[in-house]
């Protein structure tokens, strides 16, 4: 089954670009709706950070370190590198008796405009704490210390990554066909779009009083919904969408146009992948599905921001329109 058109850009009355993709909605009885190929194998990239954080709680490492819900949200984050993120990671590492040098995520300029300007103007080089995955890596280090394991926690053979893979394959319901190395140097395990949606549905129905994995999943989903600013940051779709849904739905983006949603009240999970990697299309597609399943009110301003509407140039002139494809609308 091939990917299907999901989002289109029109200019001058003509179709200029079409973004094809796959999407799955998984409910209590399994797949409820699908577009494209549910079996398409993808790298979930950062959309699966809540899965990668499961061993952090299940192992007892989070409890031993006294991690708060705010820190658990940061463990699931692709943050902006704003002060609220970097200060939180710095304090987290210090509480562990660790520092920036213990991270293995690499350094890049923060995406937060104020933080980026401060570094550039002061001619201070960014460090690994500015990496958008530093919260996830602080979680990995917390688990590493708890397990008394070696420092190279991003090695696929390391106990941390073996625990992540076991949790990943359990909640997706699939043996992963392999992994790629993510931008932050950690292994990213492949799965199908359906498997990723199944995992999100597991988080949606996880019982806080259930077994260790269910309790961990419930706690992570609730942390994300309670602290959307820690999961992404100001100006980001994840934060905007979770705020608009008033803490009732968790969403998470991943590089190369992956997006997931956890809908506890509906007991549903959603996963989608735009095959050309376009963020504008993955954001529009997830908003369309959230509106379709009444998790997001059509009148919310974020719908107009990310879903469809006129495209303007630098002079403010309308140059085109973003639309949902006919088979996806």
Q: Scanning the structure block, which residue is given the tokens 């001619």?
A: 123
Instruction: In whole angstroms, give the CA distance from residue 171 to residue 202.
Output: 7
Burial class (CB in 10 A: 0-12, 13-18, 19+), 12: exposed
Write 171-174 long-range contacts (CB < 8 A, 24+).
171/51, 171/54, 171/198, 171/199, 171/202, 171/203, 171/213, 171/217, 172/51, 172/196, 172/198, 172/199, 173/198, 173/199
Determine the Cα–Cα distance for residues 133 and 259; give it in Å rounded to an integer: 17
Q: What is the pLDDT of residue 309?
A: 80
Over residues 307-317, mean pLDDT: 90
Tell me what pLDDT residue 308 has.
75
Q: Which of the four pLDDT bands, split at 50, 70 and 90, describes residue 99?
A: very high
Q: What SS3 state is found at 67? A: coil
φ, ψ of residue 138 in degrees (nearest 5): -60, -35
Q: Is the pLDDT of residue 307 over 90?
A: no
Which pLDDT belongs to residue 72? 98
Q: Which structure tokens are listed for 160?
A: 């941390």
Structural contact between residues 47 and 271, judged by C-beta atoms closer than 8 angstroms: yes
Where residue 178 falls among pLDDT bands split at 50, 70, 90? Answer: very high
pTM summary value: 0.97
Contact (CB, 8 A) for 146 and 163: no
Task: Taking residues 156-184, report their average pLDDT.
Answer: 98
Sequence-separated (6 or more) residues with CB below 8 Å from residue 91: none
CB 244 within 8 A of CB 300: yes
Q: What gap in Å lies between CA 150 and CA 80, rounded to an integer?
A: 29
Model confidence at 329, pLDDT cuts 50, 70, 90, reads confident
The number of C-alpha atoms within 13 Å of 74 and in the hemisphere containing its C-beta is 30
Is the pLDDT score of 108 beyond 90? yes
Residues 38-52, mean pLDDT to the nearest whole number: 98
Check if the beta carbon of residue 38 is closer than 8 Å to that of residue 27: no
- What is the predicted pLDDT for the residue at 279? 97
Q: How far apart are the C-alpha atoms of 87 and 95, rounded to whole Å?
A: 12
The distance of Cα 26 from the centroid of its chain, to the nearest Å, equals: 17
């Amino acid at each position: 089954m091939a990917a299907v058109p999901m989002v289109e850009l029109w200019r001058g009355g003509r179709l200029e670009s079409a973004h094809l993709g796959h999407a799955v909605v998984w409910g209590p009885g399994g797949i409820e709706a699908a577009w494209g190929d549910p079996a398409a194998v993808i790298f979930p990239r950062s959309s699966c950070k809540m899965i990668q954080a499961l061993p952090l709680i299940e192992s007892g490492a989070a409890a031993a370190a006294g991690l708060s819900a705010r820190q658990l949200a940061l463990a699931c984050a692709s943050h902006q590198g704003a002060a609220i993120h970097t200060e939180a990671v710095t304090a987290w590492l210090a509480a562990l008796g660790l520092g920036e040098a213990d991270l293995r995520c690499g350094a890049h300029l923060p995406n937060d405009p104020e933080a980026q300007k401060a570094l550039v103007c002061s001619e201070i080089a960014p460090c690994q704490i500015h990496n958008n995955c530093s919260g996830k890596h602080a979680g990995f280090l917390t688990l590493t210390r708890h397990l008394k394991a070696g420092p190279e926690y991003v090695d696929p053979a390391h106990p941390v990554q073996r625990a992540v893979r076991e949790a990943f394959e359990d909640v997706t319901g699939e043996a992963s066909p392999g992994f790629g190395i993510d931008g932050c140097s950690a292994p990213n395990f492949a799965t199908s779009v359906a498997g990723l949606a199944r995992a999100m549905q597991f988080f949606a129905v996880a019982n806080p009083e259930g077994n260790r994995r269910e309790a961990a999943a419930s706690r992570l989903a609730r942390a994300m919904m309670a602290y959307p600013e820690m999961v992404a940051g100001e100006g980001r779709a994840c934060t905007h969408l979770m705020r608009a849904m008033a803490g009732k739905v968790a969403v998470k983006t991943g590089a190369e146009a992956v997006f997931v949603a956890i809908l506890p009240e509906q007991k549903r999970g959603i996963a989608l992948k735009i095959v050309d990697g376009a963020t504008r299309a993955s954001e529009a597609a997830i908003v369309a599905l959230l509106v379709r399943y009444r998790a997001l009110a059509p009148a919310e301003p974020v719908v107009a921001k990310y879903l469809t509407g006129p495209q303007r140039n630098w002079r403010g002139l309308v140059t085109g329109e973003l639309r949902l494809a006919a088979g996806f609308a």
